Structure 1
Amino acid sequence: MAGTLRTGTLRTDTWRNWAGDQRAGGLTVLAPAGTEEVAAQVRAAAAAGRRVTALGSGHSFSGIGRPEDVALTLRRHAALLDVDDAGLVTVQAGMPLHRLNGELAARGWALTNLGDIDRQTVAGAVSTGTHGTGARFGGLATQLRALELVTADGGVLRCSPDEHPEVFSAARVGLGALGVLTTVALQAVPAFALRAEEGPARLPDLLASFEEVVTSTDHVEFYWFPHTDRCLLKRNTRVPLSEVAPPSRARALWEDEVLANAGFAAVVAAGRRVPVLVPPLAELSARAWGTRTHTDLSHRVFVSRRRVRFREMEYAVPRGAAPAVLAELRRAVDAGPWRVPFPVEVRVAAADDVPLSTACGRDTAYVAVHVPARSDPGGFFAAFEAITGAAGGRPHWGKQHGLDAAALAARYPRFAEFTALRARLDPGGVLGNAHLDRVLGPVGAGVAG
């Protein structure tokens, strides 16, 4: 049965991502359960000369997860396998982060840092370099301690710093190009709370004291409202669970659903219909956010509900370059023809040693821009990409960008190391798609590092 695709086979006419801008049709969709079934399906696809893509939640804005032929959904491969006494969490890679966060909280554990969205699968979040914010903290990949990978020939590699260490190092942000991630082991920490302090700030003040602001507590981020100098500053401090004091249900409903989602959706819709309204609406939106403080379990504070759909581009720049990048972006918005209804998000992370991590080898600031999901970002994204490129910016792998392998090789000192490993593990390009061929180069083509 090496050439037969049978287990859990489904048919679907189309696939689309969360934002709706990436689509595919005519796919063979398989739902294997267990590593051996995953391996059997990859072997069968490879024998039939077909390309394989592992599906996550579809929350990437780039084409990284766009399937072309055989698509593996890991929804039947999504169990929590173990949490040991030291907090080592072993989980099947199809589990979504929001379920994992709940499972860990029930056992008295937590992931030490998270992004602000938790709908991704563990595999998708790890593979694309998902990160949160915190000057002393790395992205999700830095919390990995071991992983299991099904390679393009259907082999199974169990990897850690002691077993296939070169594969483990690269596969922590593997883009889906080295194998199908089936199981990961993450280092959790004892459950903790976050004291969230949110309030207004001015962009010139934040840029003038950027380093002081982003290192002032554990997790800092801010949102700049284009066409204004107004920002929303968020500062989250790690505190004991005994200090948990969440907002009332009514207050949470008003702030998180009415203001942050329903009200914002109305603002975005009005701006799309009448673009000239965007600047005054941005001023109104910024003023609507007052000061608030609350304390809750860490994952409830890290994560925000995002019901207004958008397209996103995010670049990682050296942390010291962030004020100049933001100042130049403001100048471009003020001088340009665009009307930008979404705030610009700014976060930070510590340097790490993961070859294709956006924070590899340098303390990093992340700057993210957004447009409504059904909008053409056009010149706005292009201008932003040019500004960050001048600072040596690296694009988030799961978000829109226009760079190819040659450009990316110049920005990642270990790029050639990764592509050489890819060529060894998948010489036939079984696990590729058009997007990976663009950003990594066709397998075997080689890219100068």
Structure 2
Amino acid sequence: MPGTQRWRNWAGNQTATGFDAVHPEGTDAIAAAVRAAVAAGRRVRPIGSGHSFSAIGRPEHVQLVLDRHAGLVDVTADGLVTVQAGMPLHRLNAELAARGWALTNLGDIDRQTVAGALSTGTHGTGAEFGGLATQLRALELVLADGSVLRCSATEAADVFSAARVGLGALGVLSAVTLQAVPAFALRAEEGPASLTELRADFDAFMTSTDHVEFYWFPHTDRCATKRNTRVPMGEVAPLPRWRAMWDDEVVANAAFGAVVAAGRVAPPLVRPLARVSARALSARTLTDDAHRVFVSRRRVRFREMEYAVPREAAPQVLGELQRAVDASDWRVPFPVEVRVAAADDAPLSTASGRDTAYVAVHVPARSDPGEYFAAFEAIAGAAGGRPHWGKLHGLDAAALAGRYPRFAEFTALRDRLDPAGVFGNAHLDRVLGPVPARTGRS
């Protein structure tokens, strides 16, 4: 019989009904839930916070909700931190800070679970720093037969290599061990720049300090830049509370939310309001705990598409996107986010084998991305771009196999570990191809 549960993701663009939700506590309970689903011929999808915009987490039959499997297991004297896979990143950051440790790099959102962030290839910015998966040292995986596999660089190394960015397709992550570093602060320098200038000197600017990013406001040439330099904890000098509240809550969220709402009611206002938004954020400098600087509160909901392109291709991609926006009648209220990351060696990491620039486009959550996302996808695709696994894109397995040299290695491992496609859904069948045992099914 079909289940009775309903689900929607953070952005509201992915929904599901008629499935069963299971909230296991402990690895044994996860394994038992998997075995029960397999015995009933049902597919299983684990879910974290639902922050992916793609349908990667959409359940069909059984949803494994890891909210009761979210504890801290251990922190060793050398900074190896082991957590259950359902722990949200913001809780992990707090647990580490209380013990004098930190993750060496983070994205700008910390609401995801550790498992969800790893599985979709979440990353921050920094030319010398990789994504979250590069901080992974070991993992525990519940396989389709209900067995539990411990993986690291020396145990089941082929599975560990692939499962660092595993899309939830190889099994259910039940525990992960990450390498933390001694707690550090970031000195943040934020200010305006022009896209023309940043494109002309892209590599020099993006490598000018440890963690660099910028936001380009479409319909203008204006950008807001962020340069974060790693410094000792003793240099912490946060903004006054009133200034932080004004900048981050009033200007960055409340006022921006009003701009987006106004544009939805009166679309012709979007372009002039974009020019207002581009000038609203003033220059500032602050120094605070790293995780407080890395992370931004995002209270205005949106849909996102992000492509990873070779770092040297980013100026051309941005120039073509700017020309496409200027030549169109699109009304784009959200800025375009630009970040960089070092090459890594995870088969399905978007930075696998190459230094990478990330370009992300957004629209309001209730908007149709339409031609804007399609045009950006074509521009990024011409540069060999790889879409973020948790964000919107239109590629299938045939197209993605051409973007990832080790794609067939990953899918062969998936077919071996999950020959019945227990951990798949329609989305994974599209982006990875169905396992051979399912190709003949109707």
The TM-score, its normalising length taken from structure 1, stands at 0.96
Partner of 2:6: 14
Partner of 1:279: 271
Partner of 1:138: 130
Partner of 2:194: 202
Partner of 1:64: 56
* Residue 383 (structure 1) shift: 0.2
| Letter paired with 2:410 | F
Is 1:167 aligned with 2:166?
no
* Residue 12 (structure 1) shift: 4.8
Distance 2:184 2:436 in 1: 47
| Letter paired with 2:432 | L
| Letter paired with 1:443 | V
Task: Map 1:45-444 onto structure 2 (within 5 A).
Answer: 45-444=37-436
Which ranges of 4 or more aligned residues in structure 1 deviate by more than 4 Å? Answer: none
The TM-score, its normalising length taken from structure 2, stands at 0.98
| Letter paired with 1:438 | R
Kindly indicate whether the alpha-carbon contact (under 8 Å) linking 2:212 and 2:226 is maintained by their aligned counterparts in 1: yes
Partner of 1:27: 19
SS in 2 for 1:385: helix
Kindly indicate whether the alpha-carbon contact (under 8 Å) linking 1:54 and 1:74 is maintained by their aligned counterparts in 2: yes
* Residue 317 (structure 1) shift: 0.1
* Residue 445 (structure 1) shift: 7.4
SS in 2 for 1:75: helix
Distance 2:281 2:104 in 1: 28
Over 3 Å counting, the alpha-carbon distance change for 1:442 and 1:24 in structure 2 is: same
Distance 1:291 1:31 in 2: 46
Distance 1:433 1:94 in 2: 20
Distance 1:275 1:212 in 2: 37
Residues 237-270 of structure 1 show CA distances to partners (whole Å, capped at 9, x for unaligned) of 0000000011111111100000000000000011
* Residue 63 (structure 1) shift: 0.3
Q: Could you tell me the percent identity over the aligned residues?
A: 78
Distance 1:56 1:75 in 2: 7
* Residue 13 (structure 1) shift: 3.1
SS in 1 for 2:306: strand
Kindly indicate whether the alpha-carbon contact (under 8 Å) linking 2:79 and 2:180 is maintained by their aligned counterparts in 1: yes
Distance 2:47 2:388 in 1: 18
| Letter paired with 1:144 | L
**Larger deviation, residues 265-274 vs 344-353:** 265-274
Distance 1:315 1:91 in 2: 30
* Residue 446 (structure 1) shift: 11
Gap runs ≥5 in structure 2? none
Kindly indicate whether the alpha-carbon contact (under 8 Å) linking 2:5 and 2:20 is maintained by their aligned counterparts in 1: no
* Residue 147 (structure 1) shift: 0.2
Kindly indicate whether the alpha-carbon contact (under 8 Å) linking 1:13 and 1:25 is maintained by their aligned counterparts in 2: yes
Distance 1:37 1:388 in 2: 43
Residues 260-294 of structure 1 show CA distances to partners (whole Å, capped at 9, x for unaligned) of 00000000011111111111111111111111000
Kindly indicate whether the alpha-carbon contact (under 8 Å) linking 2:109 and 2:297 is maintained by their aligned counterparts in 1: yes
| Letter paired with 2:14 | Q
* Residue 74 (structure 1) shift: 0.8
Residues 364-383 of structure 1 show CA distances to partners (whole Å, capped at 9, x for unaligned) of 00000000000000110000
Distance 2:261 2:331 in 1: 13
Residues 151-183 of structure 1 show CA distances to partners (whole Å, capped at 9, x for unaligned) of 111111000011000000000000000000000
Distance 1:262 1:392 in 2: 37
Distance 1:159 1:395 in 2: 27
Kindly indicate whether the alpha-carbon contact (under 8 Å) linking 1:64 and 1:175 is maintained by their aligned counterparts in 2: yes
- The CA RMSD over aligned residues, in Å, is 1.2
Kindly indicate whether the alpha-carbon contact (under 8 Å) linking 1:419 and 1:446 is maintained by their aligned counterparts in 2: no
Residues 361-412 of structure 1 show CA distances to partners (whole Å, capped at 9, x for unaligned) of 0000000000000000011000000000000000000000000000000000
Partner of 1:8: none
Kindly indicate whether the alpha-carbon contact (under 8 Å) linking 1:159 and 1:165 is maintained by their aligned counterparts in 2: yes
